[in-house]
Amino acid sequence: MSSSSALFSPIRVGNMNLQHRIILAPLTRVRAHADHVPGPQIPVYYSQRGSTPGTLLVSEATFISQKAGGYDNVPGIYTDAQVEGWKKVTEAVHEKGSFIFLQLWALGRTADIAVLAKENNSPHVSASPILLPRKLAKENNSPHVSVSPILLPKKSGVPRALTTDEIKEYVAAYAAAATNAIRAGFDGVEIHGANGYLIDQFIQDVTNERTDEYGGSIENRARFALEITDAVVEAVGAERTGFRISPWGVFNENSDFIRDIWQGVEGSTFISTNGHTRDSAIETVDKKGGLVGFGRSFISNPDLPFRLLKDIALERGDQATWYLPGNVLPTGYSDYAFAAENDQQQISKL
């Protein structure tokens, strides 16, 4: 790439030599099969967005275990079939000369009660998709659990607080999922600690009323997140481990903001995902360094790094097709065209 902005310049992150600073941010798309195996269009989708060599992609949030789920048609990384499904994705991305991390996800109180009930009657947090929590009991009567018994608005049923033994099981599940991700060919993992999901429920004081070593002080509320991070690092290495936070997020009703989490720690790289435009991304990287994540813009612009480099107008896309649970067709997913100026535009027709 060539441009006067650092946005389009190479950077080494962990074991990866990226050719620019534009990252695909994780986007839930609910295109997996009912057993949480990635659907047939998922390899095409990610290979398109990795078509500019040296691009880093962060996958959609992926369940670390059946117990950690609670939405339909969200992929998992806890069975051999799921690992094999993800191998097709990582191979497709690597063929383009790009890189991909898997985002690790556990829902906690945001899980759909109907989905939990239908998946295996598990004694912990549960399994499946994203149409917003209104159901929690459809996947085999798994119990609705969280850090503390606090009701999520518009949800039926108060979640049960996790026991300390269950917490340890979750820590182990994150490590196992990270190991499976590397087995599936991912270049690393990102721990989803944001947006009101299970890890964030421990961190935020509005969702954590515990009186044990996981509640009360900031240090205690951060303990679950730190134990998970330590376990994942031990399993796959620090250079393959990222962590997502949302200090100003209000999704799922949380309002306890996390400030000054990252302070330029040597060997780490900061990714800013604040609804950037081309101009704000250039300004951010040129003034502050690091990487910039794009989400919605990447949906309808599979060759986004190329378009931003050439300052080509972006396609708006169709928001009505963002979430089509279980749909295995290209519609609204892998059927967006590359820019006419892009020599790889035929890829979008695979």
Lowest mean pLDDT among 123-127, 244-248, 280-284, 341-345: 123-127
Instruction: Please provide the size of the chain in residues.
Output: 350
Could you read off the pLDDT of 53-104 as tens digits, one per residue? 999 999 999 999 998 998 999 999 999 999 999 999 999 999 999 999 999 9
User: Residues 28-44: pLDDT tens digits?
Assistant: 999 999 999 999 999 99
291-294 and 99-105 strand pairing = unpaired
User: Mean pLDDT for the chain?
Assistant: 84
Q: Is the pLDDT of residue 148 over 80?
A: no
DSSP H/E element including 294? strand 291-294
Quick one: pLDDT band at residue 307, thresholds 50, 70, 90?
very high
309, containing H or E segment = helix 304-310
DSSP class of 76: B
- 196: Cβ contacts below 8 Å, ≥ 6 apart: 110, 204, 207, 249, 251, 252, 253, 254
- Asked if pLDDT for residue 219 goes beyond 50, the answer is yes
pTM for the whole structure: 0.88
37-41, 213-217, 263-267: segment of lowest average pLDDT:
263-267
- 35, 88, 115, 317 from 81: Cα distances, Å: 9, 11, 20, 32
Nearest to 108 by CA among 31, 216, 204: 204
| 207 vs 186, more confident | 186
Question: What distance in Å separates the CA atoms of residue 84 and residue 187, rounded to the nearest whole number?
Answer: 16
In the block, which residue shows the tokens 């600690």?
193
Q: 189: closest CA among 127, 235, 223?
A: 235
Active site residue 333: no
| Residue indicated by tokens 């997020």 | 249
Q: Which of 46, 78, 197, 336 is catalytic?
A: 197
Which phi-psi region, left, alpha or beta, contains residue 289 (left: φ > 0; alpha: ψ -120 to 50)?
A: left
Return the amino acid letter for 280.
S
pLDDT at 125: 41
Please, is 70 exposed, middle or buried when counting C-beta atoms within 10 Å of its C-beta (0-12, 13-18, 19+)?
A: buried
Buried b (16+ CB within 10 A) or exposed e, 74-89: bbbbbeeebbebbbbb
Residue whose entry in the numeric block shows the structure tokens 């390899």: 43
